[in-house]
Amino acid sequence: MSSSSSPTHPNPNHHSGATVMTDHPRLRHLRSTSQLMKQTTVTSLSSSFPSAPSSRTAPTSSPPSSTASSLSRAPRNAPRGWAVPTDSKPLRIGVPIGSEFKQYVNPEFDELGNVISFHGFSIELFIAIVSELPFCLPYEFFPYNGSYTDLVKKIYLKEFDAVVGDVAIVARRLQYAEFTHPYTESGLVMIVPLEKPANKALLFMKPFTKAMWMLIGIVTIYNGFIVWLIERNHWHELQGSPVHQTGAFLWLSFSSLFSLQGGTLHSNLSRMTMLVWLFVALVITQTYTANLASMLTVQGFKPATVDIESLQRSNAWVGYSNASFVASYLEDVLRFNRKNLIGYTSLEDYDRDLKNGKISAIFLEVAVSKIFLAKYCKSFATTGPTYKVGGLGFAFPKGSPLLPSVTEALLKVSESGELRELETSMIASETCMDVYVDDDISSLSPSSFWVLFAFSGGTSTIALIVYLSHRNWKLSCLLVHKTIRMLVLTLMKQWGIQKQRFYGRLLSHGESPRSSTNTPPEAVAGSSIVNIEASMT
């Protein structure tokens, strides 16, 4: 990879696109294709477009002939009125080297402290955009160590032809240059440290709402009552005094949440009721455990500060990026006291002072806040609204015919998904679990379990109906049996009385029955009735 030149000693024979080091496979392919196009096109252009000697580039050895100049033509699809860059006079692009977020622009230095190449999301994105242009665009990167506004001003002073880097689009910079469409999300967010709440005594109740707890209790008692009603005639422990039965009934109800009690149940109806309720109880307990664990790890932390008004009332110290526009926005728009603002140049400084309490919050652009939270997501979180301002873009001279083509190429890269891939790979090395702080984490309500409760309650109700129907049928059968017995006994008694009267009449006439010569009629009738009753019982 060839190195980029310093601003005072550029190397006109090398393109900075070749100096950018990246591991993105598509970009390596795009760069090789772009370099081949540049070598082919620039060779033809060097004889067609003369380049005047300049203090920024090495002078050409000899000017081309006037004939060749008169026959020169711009490449097809090139913007009209555009002086085509060549190898001898490439597009001069300024790149900031003072960014605290090296994921966007990360210059590489040699042993002497000179910039030899550039890495980062912004650089790789620009290379992808150039590969989408319908014409060849020779360019060269030049490092710049200064404020971003001064860097953009260099375009107005014609020291640079463009600026590539993590440059925010703000109004005061538009007086010096124009910007492409933003390639990152625009906005300004407040980041604060997370702290644990002081009181967690009733946290175990939070996984479910009050209505959910009440419904669990009602269904548990209802199922226990049905099992007690079915099993009380078969289970000795469920009998006894009313106080003893009440205690046994409640124990049976709530112990069913953890055990089937299948070995002590005698009726299939009670087994069916307990089996369904145990399944519902398992789902409820597992859900409760998962929700409680989530609250202990996530809801256990909350933002130390939730709004800028509390920061302003307490005159708290607030941090911002030294290399951004945030300081003026905090002072002019959000009305912070300038004495309470502290500028920083590294992520480590943000982390240190937020944790030790020197500053209460920091304000970062959305694009760079993702990197900070990806690295320190266990300790910090965003809070409050997102202030719509900024957004990163590439700067070009006002009225540049190249700007529409670059913006169109940027949209193509974005719509193809390549922009998203570059952004993902940028923070992949520092990703961790995002912490979303929400003061109103909703507890689970009966609406999440109504199907299970309906299934359990319906099964228990069916078991109760079947039990009562069977019991009524047995009572009816017993009543019918007793009624028939009484009728038979009544008939036999009437028959015995009639027979006794018959024997009495015979005796009164001096006649004895043939079947019994020695037995009295009363004894015969009585023994017959006793035999009938014995057979009925």
Complete DSSP assignment for 96-132: E---S-TTT-EEEE-TTS-EEEEESHHHHHHHHHHHH
pLDDT in the model for residue 20 = 41
Q: What is the pLDDT of residue 196?
A: 66
The reply to whether domains 16-184+394-425 and 302-390 share a CATH topology is yes
Q: Does the pLDDT value for residue 157 go beyond 90?
A: yes
Rounded Cα distance between 324 and 96, Å, is 12
Q: Residue 532 above 70 pLDDT?
A: no
The residue type of 235 is W
Pairing type for strands 188-195 and 380-387 reads antiparallel
Q: Measured at the alpha carbon of residue 399, what is the angle toward residues 397 and 405, in degrees to the nearest 5?
A: 85
Mean pLDDT of 480-504: 75
Looking at residue 511, what is its pLDDT? 55
pLDDT tens digits, one per residue of 518-528 = 555 445 445 55
Average pLDDT of the chain, as a whole number? 74
Q: Please, are residues 86 and 135 in contact by the beta-carbon 8 Å criterion?
A: no
Residue 58 has pLDDT above 50, yes or no: no
pLDDT value of position 95: 94
Query: Which one-letter amino acid corresponds to residue 228?
Result: W
Query: Can you give the pLDDT at residue 8?
Result: 36
> So what's the pLDDT on residue 51?
34
Least confident of 30-44, 102-116, 128-142: 30-44
CB atoms within 10 A of CB 262: 11
Residues 113-124 have a mean pLDDT of 88
User: E-assigned strands of 252-367?
Assistant: 302-303, 318-321, 341-344, 361-365
Q: How many residues does the chain have?
A: 537
Residue that the structure tokens 């709530």 belong to:
254
Neighbouring-strand partners of residue 192 = 381
Predicted confidence at residue 123, as pLDDT, reads 93
Question: Contact, 415 vs 193, CB < 8 A?
Answer: no
- What is the model's pLDDT at position 261? 57
Contact call for residues 121 and 27 (beta carbons, < 8 A): no
CA-CA distance, 292 to 319, in Å (whole number)?
Answer: 35
DSSP secondary structure letter of residue 439: T
Choose between 259 and 206: higher pLDDT: 206
**Which of 24-33, 232-241, 408-417, 507-516: highest mean pLDDT?**
408-417
Closest CA to 190 of 323, 338, 383, 438: 383
pLDDT confidence tier of residue 509, bands split at 50, 70 and 90: low
Closest CA to 321 of 291, 301, 342, 348: 342
Q: Are 194 and 436 in contact (CB under 8 A)?
A: no
Going from the C-alpha of 169 to that of each of 284, 392, 393, the distances in angstroms are 52, 6, 6
Closest to 422 in 3D by CA, of 156, 104, 202, 135? 104
Whole-number percent of the chain with pLDDT over 90: 20
- For residue 429, what pLDDT band results from cuts at 50, 70 and 90? low
pLDDT for 471 equals: 72
Q: Which of 94, 178, 154, 133 is nearest to 399 (CA)?
A: 178
Euclidean distance between CA atoms 441 and 435, whole angstroms: 13
DSSP state of 171: G
Per-residue pLDDT, 314: 87
In whole angstroms, give the CA distance from residue 345 to residue 464.
74
Mean pLDDT throughout 156-169? 93
Q: Is the pLDDT of residue 404 over 50?
A: yes
pLDDT top residue among 98 and 144: 144
More confident call, 509 vs 536: 509
Highest mean pLDDT among 375-379, 430-434, 438-442: 375-379
Least-confidence region, from 71-80, 345-354, 360-369, 397-406: 71-80
**Lowest mean pLDDT segment, chosen from 245-249, 273-277, 325-329:** 245-249
Which pTM was predicted?
A: 0.52
Contacts 24+ apart (CB under 8 A), 449-456: 449/212, 449/280, 449/283, 449/284, 449/287, 452/280, 452/283, 452/284, 453/215, 453/219, 453/280, 455/276, 455/280, 456/219, 456/223, 456/276, 456/277, 456/280
What are the start-end ranges of the E strands in 426-518? none
Given the structure tokens 């149940």, which residue do they identify?
Answer: 265
pLDDT grade for 394, boundaries at 50, 70 and 90: very high
Structure tokens at 459: 């099964």
Cβ within 8 Å of residue 125, ≥6 positions away:
183, 410, 413, 419, 422
Homologous superfamily in CATH for domain 302-390: Periplasmic binding protein-like II (3.40.190.10)
* Average pLDDT estimate for 89-115: 86
Place of tokens 């019982």: 537
Residue 469: the pLDDT is: 86
**What are the Cα distances from residue 325, in Å, to 251, 318, 319, 386?**
68, 15, 13, 16
Q: Do 373 and 191 form a contact (C-beta atoms < 8 A)? A: yes
The residue that leads in pLDDT, 27 or 175, is 175
Percentages of the chain per state (helix, strand, coil), in multiples of 5: 50, 15, 35
**More confident: 296 or 299:** 296
Confidence band, pLDDT 50/70/90 cuts, at residue 403 = very high
Residue 300: pLDDT above 60? no
Look at the domain 16-184+394-425 and name its fold: D-Maltodextrin-Binding Protein; domain 2 (3.40.190)
Mean pLDDT of 92-117: 86
Instruction: Provide the pLDDT confidence category of residue 463 given band limits of 50, 70 and 90.
Output: confident
Q: What is the pLDDT of residue 237?
A: 66
What digits encode the pLDDT tens for the residues 70-80? 333 444 555 55
For residue 323, the model assigns a pLDDT of 65
Q: Give which of 308, 101, 103 is closest to 191, Cα–Cα.
A: 308
Domain residues of the chain, as ranges? 16-184+394-425, 207-300, 302-390, 476-536
Q: What is the pLDDT of residue 430?
A: 66
Beta strands in 9-146 (DSSP E): 91-96, 106-109, 115-119, 139-144
SS3 166: strand
In this predicted model, which residue has the larger pLDDT, 192 or 296?
A: 192
HSE at residue 17, side-chain half, CA atoms within 13 A, is 28
CA distance 121 to 22: 9
The answer to whether residue 225 scores a pLDDT higher than 90 is: no
Mean pLDDT of 160-167: 93
Radius of gyration of the chain (CA): 47
- pLDDT confidence tier of residue 475, bands split at 50, 70 and 90: low
pLDDT value, residue 260: 56
Greatest mean pLDDT among 29-38, 159-168, 298-307, 495-504? 159-168
Query: Residue 342 has what DSSP assignment?
Result: E
The answer on pLDDT for 125 being more than 90 is: yes
3-state secondary structure of 5: coil
Q: Which residues contact 465 (CB under 8 A, 6 or more apart)?
A: none
In this predicted structure, the answer to whether residue 149 has a pLDDT above a threshold of 60 is: yes
Asked whether 144 and 95 are in contact (CB, 8 A), the reply is yes
Mean pLDDT score, 117-145 = 91
Task: Give CA–CA dist 502/125, Å, rounded.
Answer: 127
| pLDDT tens digits, 262-279 | 456 778 888 888 888 888
Could you give the CA distance from residue 240 to residue 39 in angstroms, rounded to a whole number? 102
